[in-house]
Amino acid sequence: MLWKVNSNDKDKKEEYVDIGDVFKNKDTKKMEEFLNFIGDQEKKKDYLRKELVSNYDYIKWIEEFTFKFGSFENDVYPEYSELVSSQDVENISYLQYFYEAIDKYADKNFISPYNDEFCSYYKIQFNDLGYEIGIWFGQGSGFFCNKVDIKDEKEFINFDNIVNNVNVLNAEGLNKQLDKLSNMLVSLYEKGISKDIMMNCVYNTLESLNYKEELGESRKLKRE
pLDDT digits (tens, 9 = 90+) for 77-105: 656 567 788 888 889 989 999 999 999 99
Residue 201 pLDDT greater than 80, yes or no? yes
**Residues 114, 57 within the same domain:** yes
Residue 179 pLDDT greater than 70, yes or no? yes
What is the per-residue pLDDT across 42-81, written as a single tens digit (0 to 9) for each? 777 888 899 999 999 999 999 999 998 889 998 766 565 6
pLDDT of the residue at 115: 92
Among 163, 182, 197, residue at a domain's last position:
163
**Residues 104, 151 within the same domain:** yes
What is the per-residue pLDDT across 133-152, written as a single tens digit (0 to 9) for each? 999 988 888 999 999 999 98
**Residues 136, 83 within the same domain:** yes
**Residues 73, 24 within the same domain:** no
* Structural domain range at position 215: 171-223
Residue 194 pLDDT greater than 80, yes or no? yes
Among 117, 133, 163, residue at a domain's last position:
163
Minimal CA–CA distance to 159: which of 30, 77, 53?
53
Beta strands in 30-161 (DSSP E): 72-73, 114-115, 119-126, 129-138, 140-148, 157-158
Residue 207: which pLDDT band, with cuts at 50, 70 and 90? confident
Residue 2: which pLDDT band, with cuts at 50, 70 and 90? very low
87 vs 12, which has greater pLDDT? 87
User: How many Å apart are CA 223 and CA 220, to the nearest integer?
Assistant: 5
- pTM (predicted TM-score): 0.66
Q: How many domains in the chain?
A: 3
Residue 3: which pLDDT band, with cuts at 50, 70 and 90? very low
pLDDT of the residue at 65: 93
- Amino acid letter, residue 108: K
User: How many Å apart are CA 58 and CA 65, to the nearest integer?
Assistant: 10
**Residues 100, 13 within the same domain:** no
**Residues 59, 103 within the same domain:** yes
**Residues 111, 125 within the same domain:** yes
Residue 214 pLDDT greater than 70, yes or no? no
**Residues 59, 132 within the same domain:** yes
User: How many Å apart are CA 100 and CA 193, to the nearest integer?
Assistant: 39
**Residues 69, 99 within the same domain:** yes
**Residues 155, 123 within the same domain:** yes
**Residues 66, 151 within the same domain:** yes
Among 121, 146, 163, residue at a domain's last position:
163
**Residues 84, 157 within the same domain:** yes
Backbone angles phi, psi at 70, to 5 degrees: 80, -155
